[in-house]
Amino acid sequence: MYGYSKLRKRLFTVLMKSQFREIGVGTRIEPPFRGGKLEQVSLGEHVIINRDCWIQVFADGTNSGSGELVIKSHSAIGMGATISAALRVTIGEYVLFARNVYVSDHGHAYLHINDPIMRQGITCPMPVSIGDRSWLGQNVCVLPGASIGKHCVIGANSVVTSTIPDFSVAVGVPARVIKQYNKITEQWENVRNTSLV
pLDDT tens for the 197 residues of the chain, in order? 556 678 888 899 989 999 999 999 999 999 999 999 999 999 999 999 999 999 999 865 555 567 999 999 999 999 999 999 999 999 999 999 999 999 999 999 999 999 999 999 898 999 999 999 999 999 999 999 999 999 999 999 999 999 999 999 999 999 999 999 999 999 999 997 544 44
Residue-range domain boundaries for the chain: 2-196
Q: Is the dihedral of CA 70, 146, 196, 135 positive or negative?
A: negative
Q: For 2-196, which CATH class?
A: mainly beta
Helix boundaries (H) for the chain: 2-16
pTM (two decimals): 0.91
